[in-house]
A and B are shown apart, each in its own frame.
Chain A
Amino acid sequence: MTQRAMQEATFLILTALAAGSQHGYGIITDVQAISHGRVRLRAGTLYTALDRLRADELIAVDREEAVDNRLRRYYRLTPKGSKRLAAEAGRLQANATAALSRLDLAGGVT
């Protein structure tokens, strides 16, 4: 069964968590770095996505800390989330390869 394509924000959040657990603000800064500043998540968007990803069991809470009297919760990719991210990365890579291949056949990118 084919899965729906992943939204870019979701893909970047999962990518940010692929190297290890991160807290909310860490994810925001990492996503910005991964996308070379193109995608800047806001807190509302981030937590809507995190809530959905937790419900879909693609991520889970890794641990919690109290920093400066504020709760800091770290999220990690679950095995299911890793598989889903790998599948999505493969799909994007295949699409990109196909696109570049056809562009080459047509005379290359100008």
Chain B
Amino acid sequence: MTDSSGLERGYRRLLACYPKTFRHEQEEEILAVLMASARPGQRRPRLAESADLLRSALGMRLRAPRPGPPSRPWSDALALFSIAAPLFLLVADILEVALPYHLPPTTRYGLIARMLGRHVRIGGLPLFSQPFFDIAVGCQVIVSALVLLALRRLALAALAAAAVYWIVARHSVSWIPYPVQLLSAGVYILEAAALIASPGPRRGRHLMNWRHGVVLLVAAAAVQVSTLMYDAKSPPVRFLARRPPDTTVYLVGSIVLAVTVVSLAVAWKLNRYFLLLLAAMCYPYAMQLAFSSTGDNTDLLGLPTPGHLALLFLPPLLFAGGAVLVAVTPRRSRALLSPDSGQPV
């Protein structure tokens, strides 16, 4: 039996000799060819293969630089998103638990709290005692683990199972904070498209670097700070507070963090399609936040009408559908329009 994992590791070690830019573009493809060419039972790269790869890598390192092969920003963005989005959601959950909104002391809450004999807050560890939250987080952990392991089909199956469970248990969903609900919906819709239409999480794992990690962490922080603003305006606080809590610090904080995200992404020249996908993912939450901030306490998810649901979820659904269509459309016509198409001379 072929020890494919050991053989693959051996090939990857050899491919590491290629220039980074070439590896970035071609490694997965060459690896597929090498694995397809391997003999049954082969456990490690053969001497002739190793010599060929090393000679090729050396040649590429020594030759004069030339314009690189065409980039694939859209499919790369989807691949990157397929691995980044579930991790982003997990970080957002962790922040929701770690940084709960504490009701301000100058409220009627103090009296009620003394009557209840416990501390009241929105978010935090008590979330895990709410119905469904632990299961929702568990689903997210499973999806994240599967994409990290580059198991695309299993990740898709887990995603589908989680979506079905959300629909079946929709009456319990209201126990989950709205930001988590809406971010989860945005992630699940676009993650499904990314897993279907992209080269896959293996490619995403290859593309991801610490800069993406920093941007995602700051973005998750921006979401959590804006969530505190949302919580401060939520019905329980409005009921308990003598006067509406001042949310200026949360508003300024979330704006500063959001601007930081955009600035870092521009400075580090991150894939703009990837950023577009992140924006589409956050759209339902941003919409809910915008409506809740209008002053008339409009709540799109409280008693959602079909119009509210369409406003929240139709744009990311259309975006996801468009992404799949672009990815599965035969590329000949698009290739002819691209600069590398080799038009007649």
Contacts and interface: CB of A to CB of B under 8 A. Distances in A.
A89 interface: no
A34 interface: no
B340 A60 contact: yes
> Which label, helix, strand, loop or mixed, suits the secondary structure of the B interface?
helix
Interface string A42-78: 1111111001001101111111101101111100101
Given A70-B31, A79-B344, A61 B70 contact: yes
The winner among B26, B37, B344, B345 for most chain A CB atoms within 10 A is B37
Interface in B294-345: 330-332, 335, 338, 340-345
B335 A61 contact: yes
A91 interface: no
A62 B199 CA distance: 15
A54 B69 contact: yes
A60 B342 contact: yes
B203 A71 contact: yes
Interface in A7-47: 23-25, 28, 42-47
B52 interface: yes
B30 interface: yes
Contact of A46 (B33, B59, B67, B332): B33
**Contact count band on A:** 35 or more
A49 B251 CA distance: 56
A67 B330 CA distance: 16
Contacts of A102: none
A51 B330 contact: no
B155 to A, nearest CB: 11
A60 B52 contact: no
Nearest to B331: A63
Interface in B43-61: 48-49, 52-57, 59-60
Contacts of A78: 341-343
Contact of A69 (B56, B67, B150): B150
Contacts of A61: 69-70, 331, 335, 340
Given A44-B57, A70-B31, A64 B75 contact: yes
A62 B70 contact: no
Interface residues of B, number: 48
B203 to A, nearest CB: 6
Interface in B186-203: 198-200, 202-203
Contacts of A80: 342-345
Contacts of A46: 33
A48 B22 CA distance: 10
A69 B69 contact: no
Contacts of A60: 335, 338, 340-342
B32 A45 contact: no
A44 B297 CA distance: 63
B342 A57 contact: yes
A14 to B, nearest CB: 12
29 contacts: A24-B33, A25-B36, A43-B52, A43-B53, A44-B30, A44-B52, A45-B56, A47-B33, A47-B56, A48-B59, A51-B26, A51-B69, A54-B69, A54-B70, A55-B66, A55-B69, A60-B340, A61-B69, A64-B72, A66-B198, A67-B32, A69-B150, A69-B202, A70-B28, A70-B202, A72-B32, A73-B29, A78-B341, A83-B344
Interface of B: 22, 26, 28-37, 48-49, 52-57, 59-60, 66-67, 69-70, 72, 75, 150-153, 198-200, 202-203, 330-332, 335, 338, 340-345
Question: Closest 5 CB pairs between A and B?
Answer: A78-B342, A44-B56, A57-B342, A44-B52, A70-B32
